[in-house]
Structure 1
Amino acid sequence: MMSAVVRMLMLLVFVGWLMMWVMLPTKTYKYSWMLTLANRLNSTYFREQGTNLVLFSFPIMFLASLGCLYLHFQKKSCSESNLTRRSSLDLWKRPLIVMNPLGIVSTMELVFAAMFIALLGWSLYNYLHVSFGHLHMHKVGEKVWQAKFRSVSLRLGYIGNITWAFLFFPVTRGSSILRLVGLTSESSVKYHIWLGHLSMVLFTAHSVGFVIYWAMTDQMALMKEWSRTYLSNVAGEIAFVLALIMWVTSIPGVRRKMFELFFYTHQTYILYLFFYIIHVGVAYFCLILPGIFLFLIDRYLRFLQSRTSVRLIAARLLPCDTLELNFSKIAGLEYYPASILFVNVPLISKLQWHPFTVTSNANMEPETLSIVIKCQGTWSHKLYQELSDSAINRLQVSVEGPYGPTSPHFLRYENLVLISGGSGITPFISIIRELTFQKARQEQQPDKNQKIPTSVLLICAFKNSADLSMLDLLIPLTSSSTPSDLSQIDLQIQAYITREAEQQQSLENTMKPLRTIWFKPNLTDSPVSPQLGPDSWLWLCAIISSSFIMFLILLGIVTRYHIYPKDHIGDSVYNYTFKTLWDMLFVCVSVFLATSFVYLWQKKENDKSEGMKVQNFELGEVREIERFDRQSVAETTEVHFGHRPDLERMLKEKNKKGADVGVLVCGPRKMRHEVAKICSSKLAKNLHLESMSFNWIHDLTQSQRVHVDPSYGHDNVTYVVYCFV
């Protein structure tokens, strides 16, 4: 009951916040509500920022804090059976559009995109309706059409601010707001891209429009104006140039061929934000403040976590130029299959951060965390070569994450079909391990309410038969809680070798033994741990609420006792740019102080509880596990040579059986789009394409890759992501 009340409260707050955006451009808001609210809220402590702080900043900060509390108590009280219930919105999540450059778009995404475009159109119409009714001639002899042209250019900038109010939410990895609506930052990156392109179209029209207006009215001197009492044109021009550079380098053709150019230019978003906020001023800054505020907290937490060197236990080298890294982790670190871990190896590069799917399972492996790296780029080849050739006994590694879904949604289906291309099999390793664990637990503790898929079909396409060795990773290096036996689940593996003709050798003969490298423990290394401890949502709530309150207190004190007195001494007016600089300073100081205190406190508690424990594993025991794995995998695998899988036929056969089938795909774009089209067919009523995004980075870059094999057997690219992202 309490959970339903909290959800309803959060929904009302969010709807109320959206309604304020709807009312913002109207006459009612400008000539009635704004005047009344300004008298009550624009006090001597906040001045012209008061109204926007209350109506646009506070609701989202309150929602983010309350959302953290909700997720914390939901995690404590809800069982996995409740987390995996089917939703009435599943029909809305089915693919509706499958096309480039949008990719796979569901009905729900299309509806919300249409609503957002409608909001922009509504806002532009009302802004122009109000402004055209009260036109101001800014120069003697100015014509009406010129004044209208200026008004349109100005209001396009206002509309661009709306896109910026949402721009940073999708890239805030630890966002409670995304979790509340069932999204992760990995699956939301495409929304950031859409919003980025849309905002640049609007801001380009805004900027070019003003330049044309100044040229028509002989006011080009205004381009060099940095006003002391109003907006700075120079700051806006600098921001536009920076944004234009970021936009051009983010075009898919440029980004994929010259990713590092795209990346480094994209880091100028810090400078862009600085000049953009100076240009729009303090009042409009408060409209977009929540997204920026929450992103800064998340970014600083990631920075703090990345300063720690984590403990690497072992590495397994496969004959197909693939390696598995196994880290020590604290038992309190919980994550779900298909989570993402960002990894930095200073020995290879001090700047490069690479995202990899976590292949371990938090239930089956409570004290270890593993990732699989397929050698495709310079960074991964150097790492593989370093581990293969040298007698290395310790490797310094830093991580960020893991980040991922908040529940194992794939458990709610009667059957599962997992489709992978090349190294796209990696997210399915953790899913199969989770299914094995859940099946074993259900046999020990039967639960009628908990659903587990009765059968699992893994369809994997590889280039060469050597890649079959990746199937050895389906069972972990070691498991201390649950036996690792693939026979516990009805698993069928259909492996396709696309570049080799059929061989007479058996599966055992095509796979060479794995090589395991054990690293010596180092007391300076720490196990992978949650950024804010086991109760991370609770502490994130403390950071968000305390930092925002601190920001308001600092802003109120300086405004009341420094800015306000100077604004009322004679005819003097406080420098408009300095007001904005105070706001940005207080945001940074508040985030830094609150986040640092909580993070360092939790890190101290983690170190104390763990006692810097060093993990030790018996090598002979692991070898026995590896031998059992090979036999178990061979018994469930059927290998096909010389062709690709007929996905349409295989999925339609599953659909005809009448049971609900969850379909998960990870591989080349062509494969993902083909599967999405099959699942969106009217005849495929029982096929449900899961909305788990494994290939979010695939659409960003194909760095260090000259040729992309069009077949399903091509391996995913190793992606370069640096510490600033």
Structure 2
Amino acid sequence: MGKFTVLNMIFLVMFIGWLMVWILLPTKSSELKWTPKLQSQLSSKYFREQGTNILLFTFPIMFIAALSCVYLHLHKKSPNSNIGQMSGLGRRLASWRSPVCVKAPLGIVSSVELSFAVMFVVLLIWSLTNYLYFSFNGHLHMHAGEKIWHAKLRSVPLRLAYIGNVCWAFLFFPVTRGSSLLPLVGLTSESSIKYHIWLGHLSMVLFSAHTVGVLISWITANQMFKALEWSQTYVSNVAGEIAMVVALVMWVASISRVRRKMFEVFFYTHQLYTVYIIFYLLHVGVAYFCMILPGIFLFLIDRYLRFLQSRDRVRLLASRLLPGGTFEMTFAKTSGLQYNPTSILFINVPSISKLQWHPFTISSNSNMETDKLSIMIRTEGSWSQKLYKQLSSSVKHLDVSVEGPYGPSSFSFLRHEALIMVSGGSGITPFISIIREIMFQSTIPNSHVPRVVLVCAFKTSADLAMLDLLLPISGSHAEQISQIELQIEAYVTQENEQPTLEAQKTIQTAFFKPNPVDLPISATLGPNSWLWLGAIISSSFVLFLLVLGLVTRYYIYPVDNSGGFYHYSYRCLWDMFSVCACICLASSVAFVLSKSCNGGLMGTKQIQNVEMATPTSSPAAWCYAGGDYREVESLPIQSLAQAMKVHFGARPDLKKILFESKASDVGVLVCGPRKMRHEVAKICASGLADNLHFESISFNW
């Protein structure tokens, strides 16, 4: 593992150096000594004022992002990479994942999250304090005839904007779904989306204070005419005002209550981020844009690759409609597509909405089902209700596009002696994929598999049918469920007794006709996707530097050198165009080459029908509740029946269940309503049981 240790050291040194630049940036020494010296040496004819910030703020992260792709590729190819924790920094941080704070509005916060949050807030306070101290002690930028008090008043909102820019430097990392940076610290995009929310709220508070402060400064100096100023030689005030209006619209629509009740409003307004970025850049200028460029650069690469993948229609094989409004969709996939348990898939159904994409947890297992991928959907909103109606209307074919899968690059659930998984409603979905993985691992000689206790709470007995999805629709490897130690405690909270046979509904299974243009789900860049992503990151960044240098040297610099001044906003537009053009070119070439190296575009050959066994016509879960197995002939169903106990009119006593676990090392996972997640996290964080180890699973899309 020496190669991983060396790479970890490189990542750590580069990242600490990058953080030190942010820490030293607001100091007096940086303002008066280091920055002027670097600018005099790096502000060349090719990069002008951008040279310093590209070297200090952009290059380190781009270097880490590209090199981490090599790290992840090597880790993926290493033995047992999918069942153990990642080595290095990711493993050390994973040991701090136990919750230490379970309170609104932050939710469940682990030790490492709290530590980094505190350090980040300290960085912001440090930066603001140093900026203001430097400004108020003889280094104010005074306008002609301006009073000192007004210069100080004007400097405060300016420094607040600098602090907001620090938040923006980190804002896009959590929402880069195919990120090569997040796996280095054991994170996924779906688990770190809350950091994007925190940073978004914090940056909006700072930028709002900046806007109010600037308006007050203009009013007190009788300079409101500046609100309509679009300077040719400096930042544009009008662009900043437009960016702020767009940001406020996005901010209001992203408030939790608005987002949950009016998701479509949130979804469509959030697409304005492109407009916001454009006018934000026109307002701050190219030098400050280079300070936050890495996050935006990597996000745009990811976004364009998602676009390339989403152009294809995928093959929908079958659907299972369960009582209670839940349904499963099964797609064809290439055998080379590997994903880990708890991964998610974004799907789009053009017949319902051409723009809306919704994420769902994958319930299948890539080891057990090499040519199929399944997701489970609960009908809760208008979009899922329309999809349920289409699937139940005997439709023969349905156009679907996908993005993903996205998920952890490794998982550590199997290292525990026992697992207790607590779910509420459709929160059982990620646990289905974990149980299937345990079923697969049980077939490997000398492989350790933990004992499993699945505690699931449902509102009605109809929802018990979700437990039928523990067995794959194909029936393959289903007999392996008898090889694992599985105990299922199911609770039906809103019914006091088992329904009669007449009241029980059946599972409806539908199979769909193949379409020659449909393709199986495949990795966007093929089996060696990490290497291709590293090539895209490095080549697009080098190409960006080359284009930027040539444009600056032979187009912008001659204008500046001749005594004129190239329009400030046009410089910004050149930067944006160069970034987008280079990303599109490098990503498109890599996309085509990766498909060619993988045996063509995989759409040239028609997908053959996949034979799948039809599942039982009646939800076995209702039979299990009665404890009568005489009519159950299938060994997998019988094993599942014997492992299950159903409690009607009761809720799980989570504290009792967790504390009574006798294993020395118990991994505790929870997925469901917020109240349930918080209750389990509080029990694990109480310190009353040393054997409980909380494993965070977060789906906050």
Structure 2 stretches lacking a partner, 5+ long: 621-633
User: What's the counterpart of residue 518 of structure 1?
Assistant: 511
Q: Measure the CA separation in 1 of the matches of 2:244 and 2:334.
A: 46
Q: 1:630 aligns with which of 633, 637, 645?
A: 637
- Residue 134 (structure 1) shift: 3.2
- Residue 33 (structure 1) shift: 1.4
User: What's the counterpart of residue 486 of structure 2?
Assistant: 491
User: What's the counterpart of residue 108 of structure 1?
Assistant: 112
Q: Measure the CA separation in 2 of the matches of 1:609 and 1:194.
A: 40
How is 1:218-237 mapped onto 2 (pairs within 5 angstroms)?
218-237=222-241
Contact 2:319/2:330 (8 A) holds in 1:
yes
User: What's the counterpart of residue 549 of structure 2?
Assistant: 556
Contact 1:665/1:672 (8 A) holds in 2:
yes
Contact 1:333/1:530 (8 A) holds in 2:
yes
How is 1:545-624 mapped onto 2 (pairs within 5 angstroms)?
545-570=538-563, 572-606=564-598, 608=600, 612=605, 614-618=607-611
User: What's the counterpart of residue 641 of structure 1?
Assistant: 648
Aligned with 1:83: secondary structure? coil
Report the residue type matching 1:14 in the other structure.
Answer: F
Q: Measure the CA separation in 2 of the matches of 1:41 and 1:662.
A: 52
- Residue 630 (structure 1) shift: 3.4
1:13 aligned to 2:22? no
User: What's the counterpart of residue 664 of structure 1?
Assistant: 669
Contact 2:94/2:186 (8 A) holds in 1:
no
| Deviations 1:647-688 (CA, angstroms, capped at 9, x unpaired) | 11111111xx25111111111101000001001011122111
Cα separation, partners in 2 of 1:605 and 1:88, compared to 1, 3 Å: closer
Cα separation, partners in 2 of 1:617 and 1:586, compared to 1, 3 Å: closer
Cα separation, partners in 2 of 1:491 and 1:125, compared to 1, 3 Å: same
Contact 2:349/2:399 (8 A) holds in 1:
yes
Contact 2:249/2:269 (8 A) holds in 1:
yes
How is 1:120-139 mapped onto 2 (pairs within 5 angstroms)?
120-136=124-140, 138-139=142-143
Q: Measure the CA separation in 1 of the matches of 2:325 and 2:696.
A: 30
Report the residue type matching 2:489 in the other structure.
Answer: Q
User: What's the counterpart of residue 467 of structure 1?
Assistant: 463
- Residue 91 (structure 1) shift: 4.6
| Deviations 1:188-236 (CA, angstroms, capped at 9, x unpaired) | 1100000001101111111110110111111111111111111111111
Higher mean displacement: 371-380 or 148-157: 371-380
Q: Measure the CA separation in 2 of the matches of 1:288 and 1:98.
A: 31
Q: Measure the CA separation in 2 of the matches of 1:492 and 1:504.
A: 23
Aligned with 2:443: secondary structure? helix
Q: Measure the CA separation in 1 of the matches of 2:184 and 2:503.
A: 47
1:301 aligned to 2:305? yes
User: What's the counterpart of residue 452 of structure 1?
Assistant: 449
- Residue 599 (structure 1) shift: 1.2
1:4 aligned to 2:5? yes
Contact 1:281/1:580 (8 A) holds in 2:
yes
- Residue 602 (structure 1) shift: 2.4
Aligned with 2:557: secondary structure? helix
- Residue 82 (structure 1) shift: 6.7
Q: Measure the CA separation in 2 of the matches of 1:387 and 1:658.
A: 44
Aligned with 2:423: secondary structure? strand
Q: Measure the CA separation in 1 of the matches of 2:443 and 2:617.
A: 20
Aligned with 2:392: secondary structure? helix
TM-score by length of 1: 0.91
Contact 1:339/1:402 (8 A) holds in 2:
yes
Aligned with 2:345: secondary structure? strand
Q: 1:201 aligns with which of 187, 198, 205?
A: 205
User: What's the counterpart of residue 363 of structure 1?
Assistant: 367
- Residue 373 (structure 1) shift: 1.4
User: What's the counterpart of residue 522 of structure 2?
Assistant: 529
Q: 1:689 aligns with which of 677, 682, 694?
A: 694
Aligned with 2:357: secondary structure? strand
Contact 1:464/1:498 (8 A) holds in 2:
yes
- Aligned-residue sequence identity (percent) comes to 59
Contact 2:83/2:410 (8 A) holds in 1:
no
Contact 1:485/1:632 (8 A) holds in 2:
no
- Residue 80 (structure 1) shift: 3.7
Q: Measure the CA separation in 2 of the matches of 1:326 and 1:181.
A: 32
User: What's the counterpart of residue 387 of structure 2?
Assistant: 383
Q: 1:538 aligns with which of 531, 539, 546?
A: 531
Q: Measure the CA separation in 1 of the matches of 2:320 and 2:273.
A: 39
How is 1:339-418 mapped onto 2 (pairs within 5 angstroms)?
339-390=343-394, 392-418=395-421
Structure 1 stretches lacking a partner, 5+ long: 698-725
Aligned with 1:298: secondary structure? helix
- Residue 130 (structure 1) shift: 1.8
Aligned with 1:44: secondary structure? coil
Contact 1:167/1:195 (8 A) holds in 2:
yes
User: What's the counterpart of residue 624 of structure 2?
Assistant: none
1:51 aligned to 2:55? no
Cα separation, partners in 2 of 1:644 and 1:112, compared to 1, 3 Å: same
Higher mean displacement: 373-382 or 295-304: 373-382
Report the residue type matching 1:668 in the other structure.
Answer: P
Computed over aligned residues only, the root mean square deviation of the Cα atoms, in angstroms, reads 2.0
Q: Measure the CA separation in 2 of the matches of 1:618 and 1:346.
A: 27
TM-score by length of 2: 0.94
How is 1:19-418 mapped onto 2 (pairs within 5 angstroms)?
19-80=20-81, 83-84=84-85, 87-136=91-140, 138-390=142-394, 392-418=395-421
Contact 1:468/1:511 (8 A) holds in 2:
no
Report the residue type matching 2:64 in the other structure.
Answer: L
Cα separation, partners in 2 of 1:569 and 1:532, compared to 1, 3 Å: same
Aligned with 1:359: secondary structure? coil
Contact 1:153/1:206 (8 A) holds in 2:
yes
Q: Measure the CA separation in 2 of the matches of 1:430 and 1:619.
A: 19
| Deviations 1:284-323 (CA, angstroms, capped at 9, x unpaired) | 0100000000000001111111110001111122223222
Q: Measure the CA separation in 2 of the matches of 1:314 and 1:136.
A: 68
Q: Measure the CA separation in 2 of the matches of 1:241 and 1:260.
A: 20
Q: Measure the CA separation in 2 of the matches of 1:621 and 1:114.
A: 54
Q: Measure the CA separation in 1 of the matches of 2:611 and 2:125.
A: 65
Contact 2:108/2:681 (8 A) holds in 1:
yes
Q: Measure the CA separation in 2 of the matches of 1:544 and 1:511.
A: 55
Aligned with 2:422: secondary structure? strand
1:679 aligned to 2:672? no
Q: Measure the CA separation in 2 of the matches of 1:348 and 1:215.
A: 50
Aligned with 1:92: secondary structure? coil
Q: 1:419 aligns with which of 393, 403, 422?
A: 422
